[in-house]
Amino acid sequence: MARVLITGGTGFLGSYLSRFLAGRGDQVTATFLVDPDPFLRETASTTSIVHLDVRDAKEVDTVLSKVRPEVIYHFAGQPYVRPSWDDPVGTFRTNVDGTVHVLEWIRQHSPSTKFGFAGSSAAYGIAEHQPIPENEPLLPSSPYGASKAAADVICYQYCVSYSIPIYRFRIFATTGPGKTGDAPNDFATQVARLEGATGRRVLRVGSLETRRDFSDVRDTIRALWTIVEKGTPGEAYNVGSGVTRSMKGIVEGFLGLAKTPIEVEVEDRRLRRVDEPVIHAKVDRLRALGWTPTVPWEQTLGDLLNHWRQHPAPSELAPK
């Protein structure tokens, strides 16, 4: 049994990981910045939940000194591309400074603590090679991607300079019940609402030509745990399914599950300023650790739609 701290532990990935690790017998503390979604808080409910603003170095020191974690999974941050265009400074302050504050606590107080950094495929930007290997240059195309690339490099530096066991996750698109701000949940939210609507039923979408490497969150958290348990400190690991799916195909999947016919229309506000045509993970390094995805894609789509049928979203929101 290990003492584990998950920053951002009541967010989407953090809440699922909290329950997974607690189920394995670990002593888990999950942190939050703002009141979490009730569903995600319930998902993380087997753990201790405390407030933490990683932008505040003193609060980081207070919380981590109390918990004394043996393992830290670092998810706290600004997690979206769209807001980063409007507030790049705030995005860097949270994603870069926040990461450094946690690493500094480890360096000064507990250099044997394992640190798993939740990086992003957005750090690669518009990659030259598909599928994208871990040695692809980090050339991000958004402030969010740049913040993740910067923090990723800092994690590497702390590992080689201070011998801290750091594992760099480069997480590709991950989806699952309870997530907000990604395309599959946006589609599922609309379909669930439209099933009960009267009049013309229209699903509003952005570009349907892009392809993304989506993983089910239940496979993703197993991958993160596998990397920390079996991976090599300092290494970067792509976390994805190794399979790309088109937005058009995802929409068609939901329409096939819908209880009523629904039309589809492109809406300008759902189009991104920069939208990479293909993002495809090369996951050989992860698979070499013994991990393989187990949740069928059809189950993922069905679970998303059933979640939003049971937990109607309060209002329609475009993906972030």
Kindly report the backbone phi and psi dihedral angles of residue 118, in degrees, each rounded to the nearest multiple of 5, phi listed first: -85, 85
Supply the pTM of this predicted model.
Answer: 0.93
- Band of the pLDDT at 273, cuts 50, 70, 90? confident
Q: Write out the residue limits of the CATH 3.90.25.10 domain(s) in the chain.
A: 175-213+242-276+295-310
Confidence category of residue 276, pLDDT binned at 50, 70, 90? confident
Cross-strand bridge partners of residue 116: 73, 167
What's the CATH number for 3-172+216-239? 3.40.50.720
Q: List where CATH 3.40.50.720 sits in the chain.
A: 3-172+216-239
Of 261-265, 277-281, 311-315, give the lowest mean pLDDT range. Answer: 311-315
User: CA distances (Å), 193 to each of 152, 182, 319, in order?
Assistant: 39, 17, 16
Task: For Cα atoms 176, 32, 275, give the angle at the middle one, nearest 5 degrees.
Answer: 45
Given a contact cutoff of 8 angstroms between Cβ atoms, the answer to whether 264 and 202 are in contact is yes
183-234 tens-digit pLDDT: 999 999 999 999 999 999 999 999 999 999 999 999 999 999 999 999 999 9
Q: What is the pLDDT of residue 270?
A: 85
- The CATH classification number of 175-213+242-276+295-310 equals 3.90.25.10
pLDDT at 170: 98
Residue 318 — very low, low, confident or very high, per pLDDT cuts 50/70/90? Answer: very low
